[in-house]
A and B are shown apart, each in its own frame.
Chain A
């Protein structure tokens, strides 16, 4: 199993540009989520999904959209990037019945100029 994969590893955007951060998992996990981590800070939950077709907001959802059309994929979209969205983004997944045991991807380092 590849586990949780994220692409790209690094990205530089200009203010106002849009992009999609990709996240995929091959463990057939029902739950997937996106976090951001600013320098020297803990992780903050952006959006999460409890299954295909179902998404919900986390702590800091503004400026981000998600969708979950398949069990495997959970992309995060930035519609109009802002410098405040400069961060490291982590995707995570877990099984429905292993509620606290999340598996994290390696992260995407995003810089918005």
Chain B
């Protein structure tokens, strides 16, 4: 069963902020939200994760709604190198498995 829903594709102009949504309406209290991305033909790359609070690192920001039923990954100044498939994953901290969905294909337009 898919725990997350993401749009299949999105476009963003180079230099603008890319906002990638993820719906996880059935998330439980001890489940984290993780984001990965996969640049063409490469292995996925971890971006960021969070539980309740918004998080920021050198790559992106993660905004989680107060009810935790959805989140948004923000790439503040998108570049052509950010063109990739972005995966939103929900999982419990104790889970040994990490299950990927189909993700969102982000196109950065010059």
Q: Which A residues are within 8 Å of any B CB, using their own CB?
A: 4, 31, 33, 35, 41-45, 48, 50, 56, 58-59, 88, 90, 92, 99-107
Contact = CB atoms under 8 A, between A and B. Distances in A.
A91 to B, nearest CB: 8
Given A100-B32, A100-B91, A107-B41, A43 B46 contact: no
Contacts of B44: 43, 90, 92, 102, 104
Contacts of B94: 99
Pairs of residues from A and B, 8 with the lowest C-beta to C-beta distance, nearest first: A104-B43, A43-B100, A100-B34, A42-B102, A42-B100, A101-B46, A90-B43, A100-B49
B97 A41 contact: no
A59 B98 CA distance: 10
Given A100-B34, A107-B43, 7 more contacts: A4-B43, A41-B102, A43-B38, A99-B95, A100-B89, A102-B44, A106-B43
Contacts of A92: 43-44, 98
Interface of A is mostly: strand
A101 B101 CA distance: 16
